[in-house]
Structure 1
């Protein structure tokens, strides 16, 4: 495999970041996962906006534009002979600090005045199948929304949630596929790498995120498809029970788009006609992307 690091394609074994890169030392960088269909990045404008908005929230200029980023994605996919891929794009603030010499710790923490960002692009093959997901609510709470946590390298809430799933799995059994994270008030935020939605007789319902960033750009695509079809989409404060008792539930997932939620906390939920419709509409959008 080859990765794109700092503007160059390098062999995976040689793809490194310095130990004083701020993403390595402090999680001071942003990242997003992009699905590539037929060599074409899907919903690229939405992904680019997410990355650049996250850089702005952290207070640094990425020193790259959307066209350049896209060209690096396409070069990475081509170098690895992948038509179908999951691509991770990261933009770190770069190296160094600019604090008081009287307090060395602060000298490292305070960002440099003129950062030199580093862009990293990696690509992996897409799984052969994407069956409905089993999901389990975890005690780990989602990080607050004062920074775009879902798009930074500081994803400790997701790491802790996945570790919790592994600890909770019975001996000799696999853990649930995905964790459901709640906020401090017990309201649904989303998965670790997916956004959750459910369907009742009135609407497609998604958790209101407030200041939080959606886990995926796929969420906005699904919302757009539903509204274009005349399906009302309502954001609200929902509990895991609301999802478990829904007529249908699914996740927005970069790997597969619309993916039925098979079970939540051991309770069967599953998809249905609305989930199937949105999945078909998503597939049509993917086909149009391939055509481009």
Structure 2
């Protein structure tokens, strides 16, 4: 895979706090021919994370220069910002010197999943509650790593996660949406989970209610979707429990296309690729 990064920035040292403690943030951005999609939303989330962790925000002109260096065609730009080195143990330095690293690689979405939908399963792992970090894309993703190890079946595209109180939160790397009684809904993310940039854009564009709901809500849903700012929106075609037994099926069709169409408009994906 071809990758690019800033030539003057070398390897991350072993005493980097991001490496040692997950003390930092990251963003993954879809870039088309040097133009970053949902760029302002990515920068807004990065700024929220910097405020929450007490990190200086990188200079705007430095960040704005990166998409243009990502290369031609469809690319995924990954930014990693750590607190840098220093401090004593968990105590961070009073004046941190953050490290910003980035790389860009070719990216291809999966249009067959846009059209046919995906099979997902419920995960056994429960997300811990931490409102101070809720919504942020911080570097400590061990819960997601453990959840993703729960299945090996390539037919299962994603796993759905609940928090320790049993409320739906997200998939391992995507946000969750459903339509119930004609109303669009998505899990509330004020106690844990990652508030995706595509989710934020859809909340602005469409009447989507943020709710507390357990996984049983999906059994009553007329349609359901997963989405993020790289893959776009996948309709759910089948839901399994944590043992792999089928709980619900949907037939992706017109009922699934409205939310998908708005998401793909925001990401510049052609509507014809999903039909």
Q: Same fold (TM over 0.5)?
A: yes
Moved over 6 A (4+): none
RMSD: 2.2
**1:71 matches 2:51:** no
Q: Distance in 1 between matches of 2:31 and 2:130?
A: 28
The one of 218, 230, 233 equivalent to 1:243 is 218
Residue equivalent to 2:7: 9
Quick check: 2:26–2:81 contact (8 Å CA) kept in 1? yes
Cα distance between partner residues in 2 of 1:42 and 1:180: 26
Alpha-carbon separation, structure 2, partners of 1:127 and 1:161: 24
Please report how far the alpha carbon of residue 15 of structure 1 lies from its aligned counterpart in structure 2 after TM superposition: 5.3
Relative to its length, the structure with more helix (as a share) is: 1
Q: Is the 8 A contact 2:4 2:105 kept in 1?
A: no
Tell me how far 1:162 sits from its aligned partner. Answer: 0.2
8 A Cα contact 2:179 2:222, kept in partner = yes
SS in 2 for 1:185: coil
TM-score, normalised to structure 1, is 0.80
Q: 1:253 aligns with which of 203, 215, 228?
A: 228
- What residue in structure 1 maps to residue 79 of structure 2? 89
Could you tell me which of 83, 90, 100 is aligned with 1:109?
90
Segments of 5+ residues of structure 2 without an aligned counterpart are 241-245, 270-275
Seen in structure 2, the aligned counterparts of structure 1 residues 213 and 137 have a Cα distance that, compared at 3 Å, is closer
Does residue 118 of the first structure (1) align with residue 131 of the second (2)? no
8 Å CA contact 1:193, 1:215 repeated in 2: no
Q: 2:54 aligns with which of 43, 49, 59?
A: 59
Q: Shift of residue 256 of structure 1?
A: 2.7
Please give the residue correspondences for 1:134-153 in structure 2 after superposition, counting only pairs within 5 Å. 134-148=119-133, 150-153=136-139
3-state SS, counterpart of residue 190 of structure 2: coil
Deviation at 1:283, TM superposition (A): 3.0
> Matches of 2:255 and 2:86 in 1, distance apart?
50
Mapped partners of 1:15, 1:278: distance in 2: 42
Determine helix, strand or coil for the equivalent of 2:203: helix
Please state whether the residue corresponding to 1:205 is helix, strand or coil.
strand
Stretches of structure 1 that go unaligned for 5 or more consecutive residues are 98-106, 167-172, 227-231
Q: Residue 101 of structure 1 corresponds to which residue in structure 2?
A: none
- The counterpart of 2:168, out of the listed 188, 192, 204, is 188
Partners of 2:109 and 2:230 within 8 A in 1? no
Q: Secondary structure at the match of 1:260?
A: strand
Q: 1:145 to 1:274 in 2, by over 3 A?
A: farther
Distance 1:193 1:15 in 2: 28
Decide whether aligned partners of structure 1 residues 67 and 252 sit closer, same or farther in structure 2, where only a CA change above 3 A counts: farther
CA contact (8 A) 1:3 1:15 kept: no
Aligned residues: 257
1:25 and 2:20 aligned: yes
Structure 2: distance between partners of 1:136 and 1:154: 23
